Amino acid sequence: MEDRKEALNKLVSIVGKDFVSSEPPDLIPYVKDSYSTMMGMNVGLPDFVVLPKTEDEVVQIVRLANEYKIPIYPRSFGVNIAGSALPYQSGGMVIDLKRMDRILEINEDTMTATIEPGVSWGQLRKAAKKKGLDVIPIGGPYETSPVGNHLLTNITLYATKYNCDRAVALRVVLPNGEILRTGSWGSAVGGDINPYFRYAYGPDLTGMFRGSMGNYGIITTMIERLRPMAEVETNIFSAYNDMASCLEAMKKIERLEITRTSFGYNHVFAEHIILSPNRIRNREEREALKKKLPPFILNCGIGGSPEMISLYSKIIEEEVNKTGGKIIDWTQGEYELPPKDIEWMNQSCEGASRGIIHMYSPLSGFAAVIGCLPITNVDEVYHTVKDLVKQYELKDALTGEDLDHQLIIVPFDRCSTVYVEQELLYDPAGPPEYLAQVMKCLRDCYSNIVGKHGATHTIPNKTFMKMLVPAYADILKGFKKMVDPNNIMMPGGPYSLE
């Protein structure tokens, strides 16, 4: 106890009394999220929460944590679908990085932004567009962090063109208190002049941090890749009655290499994007929209000159027709929607949007079944989850009817692989037996899609670590042990590489 008081006093001397707390009302917001609720976790309060403003303050905090053997749990916005930002081990400290919110540079020549972890996608997009550039964002909400996303999955609706590697170089405070710079930034000679090349000096250390879930250190600065904005950018939507046809169209269109984004989903996802939390509670409105929407929708984002847009639109329409689909005109005819609803649809296809928050509404509980796999296996994986949801008799928390789950499909590298996310929405305030049933279904879904269909996850939780060949797991754990000899970084949680 005396050590903790001493540590608290030192934290105050580092960041100031207004930016550190050990009071329960300040600590409670850091111990719950949708994932922990579903898993039935009772995460205890950390001893402290501290909000640094500078990299030097982060270094001092990490060194103090080593001195007093205090577990540390860094977070930027704490918005995730994996419970990755919770203080799992008692006596720990949350390092909240939201005050580190500067955009240090937007470089038009290298098409990069140099940012701190408290910068959001929305903030960066606004600044980049002033320079004729744009972010390459996640599909999730705008009020999340590019830095945090790099540590999670880094999935983007632009993955078909840009893959998932937008981080160029990093400055990282390692768990031992040392500062690491990656890529060309790693050189003590010339690194500050040219920090803009990722693949420098041997193995890709920037990539080592992608999906690391914070195990290897605290990113204090990231150089993030941007993209050039085209003269005209638009989205083409097409309708399909079955998923196999939608997937075939996606594959054929992507291999023409004319899209900037690609995104497939089912009507359940579209309903949630279009309808606000209040509107989706209106059963009549929800049913009316369901009748209007096709079972499956494919969005193709295109960009270029007006002439290019005209040509690409014709090419895509030809492929849609060949695969049994139909081009959607949201402004008239059978699929007509009000202008605001069309705006929600377009927003969701650009990534980092406001509308995407609707996908979890109105009760916020979601169990995510995620996997990357060849496109040929996606139809089976979708129906496997659909059958298991029926087998476990999961119900729609609003209507009480059989649950119809959400489906999202994002292709990588022109469909060499696809990312598939299936959301089982539930009420986190439901009774324990109901939450346990959701959890059982989720586990069974993963067991089936991984074991029978080879679905691969993007993050190293403890269950997946057990599946790895020993040498692979040893490398991941060995790197953690090397940079974190006192095991203070993220111990005790489902993603700890201790």
pLDDT at 40 > cutoff 90: no
pLDDT band at 36 (very low <50, low <70, confident <90, very high): low
Residue 156 CA to residue 485 CA, distance in Å, equals 34
Residues above pLDDT 70, as percent of the chain: 97
The tokens of 245 are what?
């046809």
Q: Taking the CB of residue 166, how many other CB atoms lie within 10 A of it?
A: 26
Which tens digits make up the pLDDT trace of 286-324?
Answer: 999 999 999 999 999 999 999 999 999 999 999 999 999
Confidence band for 65, pLDDT divided at 50, 70 and 90 = very high
SS3 432: helix
Phi/psi for 99 (5° steps) reads -75, -20
Helices 267-274 and 283-292, packing angle to 10 deg:
130
pLDDT in tens, 457-473: 888 888 888 889 999 99
Spatial distance between the Cα atoms of 440 and 36, rounded to a whole number of angstroms: 15
Contact between residue 93 and residue 47 where contact means Cβ atoms under 8 Å apart = yes
Domain boundaries, the chain: 2-96, 103-228, 232-451
Q: What is the CATH number of domain 2-96?
A: 3.30.43.10
Torsions phi, psi for 220 (to 5 deg): -100, -25
pLDDT at 200: 96
Integer Cα distance of 484 and 498 in angstroms: 9
Strand intervals (E) in 245-360? 261-266, 296-304, 326-327
Count of CB atoms situated within 10 Å of the CB of 40: 10
- Average per-residue pLDDT for the chain: 92
Smallest CA-to-CA distance from 33 within 497, 496, 382, 494 is with 494
Tell me how far apart the alpha carbons of residues 283 and 276 are, in angstroms, rounded to a whole number: 13
- Is the pLDDT at 44 greater than 90? The verdict is no
pLDDT at 38 over 60: no
Residue 80 banded pLDDT, cuts 50, 70, 90: low
Share of the chain above pLDDT 90, in %: 75
The string of DSSP codes covering 149-171 is HHHTT---TTHHHHTT--EEEEE
With bands split at pLDDT 50, 70 and 90, how would you rate the model's confidence at 41?
Answer: low
| pLDDT tens-digit readout, 221-231 | 999 999 999 99
Q: What pLDDT does 81 receive?
A: 59
Asked whether residue 34 carries a pLDDT value surpassing 70, the answer given is no
Mean pLDDT of 483-489: 97
Q: Which of 128-142, 181-195, 383-397 has the lowest mean pLDDT?
A: 128-142
> What is residue 33's predicted lDDT score, i.e. its pLDDT?
67
pLDDT band at 244 (very low <50, low <70, confident <90, very high): very high
Q: Would you say 225 and 384 are in contact if contact means Cβ atoms under 8 Å apart?
A: no
332-361, pLDDT tens digit by residue?
A: 999 999 999 999 999 988 887 877 878 888
Angstrom distance (rounded) from CA 167 to CA 148: 11
The architecture in CATH of the region 232-451 reads: 3-Layer(aba) Sandwich (3.40)
pLDDT band at 426 (very low <50, low <70, confident <90, very high): very high
Task: Please tell me whether residue 113 adopts helix, strand or coil conformation.
Answer: strand
Task: Give residue 495's pLDDT band: very low, low, confident or very high (50, 70, 90).
Answer: confident
pLDDT at 371 (0 to 100): 94
Asked if pLDDT for residue 196 goes beyond 80, the answer is yes
Residue in 421, 447, 425 with CA at minimum distance from that of residue 434:
425
Per residue in 117-176, pLDDT (tens digit) is 999 999 999 999 999 999 998 887 778 888 888 887 778 888 888 877 889 999 999 999
Domain 103-228 of CATH type 3.30.465.10: yes
Average pLDDT over residues 245-268: 96
Phi, psi (rounded to 5 degrees) for 30: -95, 5
Q: What angle do CA 298, 128, 234 make, to 5 degrees?
A: 25
What is the Rg, in whole angstroms, of the alpha carbon atoms belonging to the chain? 23
Residue 335 carries which DSSP code?
G
Cα distances (Å, whole numbers) of residue 170 to 151, 185, 217: 12, 8, 11
Q: Residue 31: how many CB atoms within 10 A of its CB?
A: 17
| Closest CA relative to residue 472, chosen from 444, 497, 447, 436 | 497
Statement: residue 29 has pLDDT above 60: yes
